[in-house]
Amino acid sequence: MKKQYTSYQETMAFLEQAQEKYPELIRVHSIGTTWEGRPIMMATLSANIETADSKPALLFTGTIHAREWIGNELAIKFIDNVLTNIDHNPSIQQALSRNTLYMVPCLNPDGFEYSRTHFSFWRKNRRDNGDGTFGVDLNRNFGVRFKRSADTTVNTYSGPAAFSEPETAAIRDFVLDHKNITIALDYHSQGNVFFPAHKFNHESEIEGTDLNVLCANMNREIHKVTGRQYGIHRGKPPTNLINGSGREYYYSLGIVSAVVEVGTRNIPDYMANMSQSVDENVPAVLYALSEAKNYSDEAPARVDNFTIESVGVYEATLCWDYPESDDIYFELYRSETVKSPCREDNLIAIIGKHTFTDVQLKSGQKYFYNIRAVNKVTDTKSPFSPEIKLKTQLSEDEYFRGLFPSKRGIGYVGQYTLEKNRDHFGYNSLFVGVNKRRGICYGVIAFNMENLPEEARIKNASFSLYPMNRVNAKVENFGEWTVSILDPSEISDITDFNQIHQAKPIQTLGDEIRSDKLTQGIWSHWDLNVAERRIIRKSIKNGTLLLRVEGPRKLPLGADSQMMQFDIGYGKFGSGIHYRPNLEVIYTLPSKQVELTPSSLSTVSKAEAKKNELQSGFDANGDVVYGQMTFLTENLPDPKKTVITEAYLTMSNDNALPTSQDIRFTIELAGLEDLDYESVKNREKKEFIGYEVSNAQLKDKNSHNFIFDSYCREALEDMHAKHAPFHFVVRSTSSSAEKNMLVNWHDLHSNNVCKLVIKYIERRKEPLPAPANLSVTLENRQVKLSWSNPKHADLVGAFVVRNRFHSPRSPLDGVKLYAGSDEYTYDNFGNPNVEKYYSVFAYDDVPNYSAPVSVYYSSEEVIPVEEEKYEKQEEEDDDEPLID
């Protein structure tokens, strides 16, 4: 069906008709009057309009910026959808029975009409500023951090005073009058990104997880319709803070609040683009509406002290606090990436206890956990606890390295910026794609591979890039971005556009990212397959891994830019080491091998113990004759560094038994000192080694391997740690009574004497002792942490983590502040006025992390914070400033 944009007049007519037709579902009224005399229309939707104001509510505001027409269109489409489908769709019925929707399709009617009929890129309202200019940016006119600007001509002119405008005053009064509002969504364009609110204090907020999960779950709904995934970006220091915006005003009142930036243009082609944007957001708004109740006074309280009890190689135990109640159970969600949804398919436990062990995890991997309490009587859910992050331990044979490019090893090269390309390195973000000013641009990233041993066997490798949040990134729906490996020996200068442009990739990593999947504020990961890992291995020998990031190279008619920016984590535009591109590698080493010959052999029967001979079977009386072998471990390295990866016993037999009876031979790992018959018979059996061998197999061939399973390998390591010799017993079993049946295994003087073959790698197994004497002080308005590292030859350094809500018990569980060999660090980005926890872990070269030493910090005094430190500046050669 053909459709074009709706005017404000048509919007009002639509709302009034809807009210006439469905008076029990929708109520329409004006909350204020604009400078030009237009009413600001508010639609209230509820399954029972009489009780609407007593139910938890979602506030929807659209088109506060005149040229951002999506808000008005989406509201109309949503209302139409709800009214026509409520009788047939139980999820709409339920959402509107439990919650109320307050919808202002257009909060800036004057500006909207001005944009629609005259100046399409108009942003502000239509206040007469009295100096020949018009308009105030309404989204700079709210009362939180209102900043008066003198220049009335600019697009972001904030007005003479906070709430000086009839539009902002109207919505303020409505919100103050409706304490039932729990969630507020403000619809803007463009960027396909969520911007959850923040509190300007440069630390995580207790609602931070709620905001991310709400957006991620809305994202899931969007994805179902169009396959698109929006970015989720929450203020992180350093960041661009917006003064006087509605989002922060609502949040300051305790309302969970986010801006949704929709689409790739302010006023897109309706049929091609706008209809997609509208369709994908209708179910997302419905989802958000259904959550309003879960953030109300009727919802159960948030779970307290959600934290890690222990982390193993393949499992993790989490615990939390909650008042005892028969009405409450808990929902636990697990994901492998940040900002993931919490929905049915990653709900890993529904549980009444206050602890949970998650099993079957992968070694050395990151996991993210979320929890909420559910009241089963009222069917309401609590807000989320702050998310837990952890990394499982490496398995015994694994090493981990996280590699970052050096400053000189990362930058972008542009077709028309030839002489400046060198200066981009370590300074500008990675501009990748094409635009009219810079031409084709490639990102170039060189990793120094010398830190990895040449013989490393790579088990797992992944490359990650962080697409930055840019409202003006203007990535439209065409083209794709790829990462490929170049041959560094073919390129003499990585800052040379022509060399990078002409290079033939050795391999492209995994899948391309299509423009509609290139998500701002959410990491892009590439897990390397076996062929790619082989190239990585080769690059260790060459010393360098060189990557080229590329996007579209051509612009269609009417487009002037298709460019994504990726964070480099350096320089004043970067967001620090957390956002630096990285290559994470889990590897193992080829094992070494020792072949042990027995230090002694004997045959133990009821009658005697014969040294240096190895026989087993049955004696003349039918009693079992045991063969016994002892191996000494002195050829193995230090037990603390010996990881046995494979072990087997090779046994050769001289003869087989002249019988067709089924006689079988097994080998046991035995804890055995004495060699008399009674000791052997009553031996402490540790474990069987491998499968038994039958007499028929002895006839067939005369050499047999008994392979140790993982339990037996561990038993070997344990005995090695105790410097105990390895004792084995070979014995026979038969289902019939056998007499005088003896197999001769080779004796000590034979070349074919039994052998114990052990393959191992040398790697530390135990973590170091924890650091000590952790203290926290204030120095030059910064939090300073000091500690003592354990005195140990294998110490590599200390790893410092901050968490606002609980003591970090995994190095990943919080914001990383420092890793290195010093015994102090400053919390440069933290806010010294906010109480929080710090943990320090010691680590070795594997790395194994020690138990943490933790400290709680709070300050009585108020410490001034320098805002400039956090203010993010724009790229010098950026096209437009960042605004929303």
Based on CB atoms, which residue is closest to Zn ion, 99 or 189? 189
Q: Biggest alpha carbon distance in the chain?
A: 120
124 binds Zn ion, rule: CB under 5 A: no
Query: Kind and range of the H or E element at 721?
Result: helix 710-721
Q: Locate tokens 């308005």: which residue?
A: 781
Tokens of 298: 């009727």
Based on CB atoms, which residue is closest to Zn ion, 503 or 882? 882
Site residues for Zn ion, window 568-607 (CB under 5 A)? none
Contact 328, 322 (CB under 8 A): yes
- Min dist. Cβ of residue 65 to Zn ion (A): 4
Site residues for Zn ion, window 829-868 (CB under 5 A)? none
Contact 615, 743 (CB under 8 A): yes
Based on CB atoms, which residue is closest to Zn ion, 259 or 846? 259
Based on CB atoms, which residue is closest to Zn ion, 261 or 291? 261
> Which residues have C-beta within 8 Å of that of residue 57, sequence separation ≥ 6?
99, 100, 101, 102, 178, 180, 181, 182, 183, 292
- Residues, the chain, total? 884
Based on CB atoms, which residue is closest to Zn ion, 5 or 329? 5
- Min dist. Cβ of residue 531 to Zn ion (A): 45
CB nearest Zn ion: which residue?
188
Sort strands 513-514 and 439-448 into parallel, antiparallel or unpaired.
unpaired
Whole-angstrom Cα distance, residue 434 to residue 478? 12
- Min dist. Cβ of residue 60 to Zn ion (A): 15
For 579, which DSSP code? G
Q: For Zn ion, which stretch binds (CB under 5 A), given 63-71, 205-213, 363-371, 542-550? A: 63-71
Whole-angstrom Cα distance, residue 498 to residue 718? 59
Q: Locate tokens 């030059």: which residue?
A: 780
Q: For Zn ion, which stretch binds (CB under 5 A), given 59-67, 200-208, 370-378, 455-463? A: 59-67
Based on CB atoms, which residue is closest to Zn ion, 61 or 839? 61
Q: For Zn ion, which stretch binds (CB under 5 A), given 99-107, 168-176, 188-196, 567-575? A: 188-196
Site residues for Zn ion, window 245-304 (CB under 5 A)? none
Based on CB atoms, which residue is closest to Zn ion, 5 or 22? 5
Based on CB atoms, which residue is closest to Zn ion, 235 or 551? 235
- Min dist. Cβ of residue 68 to Zn ion (A): 5
- Min dist. Cβ of residue 95 to Zn ion (A): 26
Whole-angstrom Cα distance, residue 847 to residue 394? 8
The sign of the dihedral angle between the CA atoms of 373, 376, 377, 381 is positive
- Min dist. Cβ of residue 267 to Zn ion (A): 12
Contact 187, 63 (CB under 8 A): yes
Query: Kind and range of the H or E element at 112?
Result: helix 109-117
Helices vs strands, H then E, count in the chain: 14, 48
3-state secondary structure 246-261: HHHHHHHCCCEEEEEE
188 binds Zn ion, rule: CB under 5 A: yes
Based on CB atoms, which residue is closest to Zn ion, 65 or 389? 65
Q: For Zn ion, which stretch binds (CB under 5 A), given 64-72, 89-97, 220-228, 236-244? A: 64-72
Each residue 66-85 as x (binds Zn ion by CB under 5 A) or -, in order, gives --x-----------------
Site residues for Zn ion, window 297-336 (CB under 5 A)? none
Q: Locate tokens 């108020």: which residue?
A: 862
- Min dist. Cβ of residue 26 to Zn ion (A): 26
Q: Which residues, listed in sequence order, are joined to residue 20 by a DSSP beta bridge?
A: none
Based on CB atoms, which residue is closest to Zn ion, 68 or 205? 68
- Min dist. Cβ of residue 579 to Zn ion (A): 25
Whole-angstrom Cα distance, residue 300 to residue 375? 6
Site residues for Zn ion, window 505-534 (CB under 5 A)? none
> Phi/psi of residue 521, each to 5°?
75, 5
Whole-angstrom Cα distance, residue 408 to residue 296? 51
Tokens of 518: 């290139």
- Min dist. Cβ of residue 115 to Zn ion (A): 12
- Min dist. Cβ of residue 884 to Zn ion (A): 5
Whole-angstrom Cα distance, residue 462 to residue 584? 5
Whole-angstrom Cα distance, residue 280 to residue 784? 48
Site residues for Zn ion, window 446-505 (CB under 5 A)? none
- Min dist. Cβ of residue 61 to Zn ion (A): 11
Contact 815, 802 (CB under 8 A): yes
140 binds Zn ion, rule: CB under 5 A: no
- Min dist. Cβ of residue 256 to Zn ion (A): 20
Site residues for Zn ion, window 767-826 (CB under 5 A)? none
Q: For Zn ion, which stretch binds (CB under 5 A), given 48-56, 60-68, 155-163, 381-389? A: 60-68
- Min dist. Cβ of residue 140 to Zn ion (A): 11
Site residues for Zn ion, window 19-58 (CB under 5 A)? none
- Min dist. Cβ of residue 123 to Zn ion (A): 7
Site residues for Zn ion, window 146-185 (CB under 5 A)? none
Based on CB atoms, which residue is closest to Zn ion, 138 or 815? 138
Q: Three-state SS for 719? A: helix
> Phi/psi of residue 168, each to 5°?
-70, -35
Based on CB atoms, which residue is closest to Zn ion, 260 or 840? 260
Q: At what angle do helices 90-98 and 275-291 cross, to 10 degrees?
A: 50
Whole-angstrom Cα distance, residue 367 to residue 96? 35
- Min dist. Cβ of residue 541 to Zn ion (A): 52
Q: Locate tokens 């809305």: which residue?
A: 218
Based on CB atoms, which residue is closest to Zn ion, 65 or 720? 65
Q: For Zn ion, which stretch binds (CB under 5 A), given 70-78, 186-194, 368-376, 611-619? A: 186-194
Cis status of the peptide bond prior to 637, with omega within 30 of 0 = no
Based on CB atoms, which residue is closest to Zn ion, 167 or 358? 167
Burial environment of residue 359 by CB neighbours within 10 A (0 to 12, 13 to 18, 19 or more): exposed
- Min dist. Cβ of residue 44 to Zn ion (A): 24
Task: Name which of 166, 116, 794, 196 is nearest 521 in CA terms.
Answer: 196
Burial environment of residue 131 by CB neighbours within 10 A (0 to 12, 13 to 18, 19 or more): exposed
Count of residues in contact with Zn ion, rule CB under 5 A: 3
Based on CB atoms, which residue is closest to Zn ion, 123 or 202? 123
Based on CB atoms, which residue is closest to Zn ion, 187 or 566? 187
**According to CB under 5 A, which one of 27, 38, 55, 65 is a site residue for Zn ion?**
65
Q: For Zn ion, which stretch binds (CB under 5 A), given 187-195, 220-228, 503-511, 626-634? A: 187-195
Which residues make up the interface to Zn ion (CB under 5 A)?
Answer: 65, 68, 188
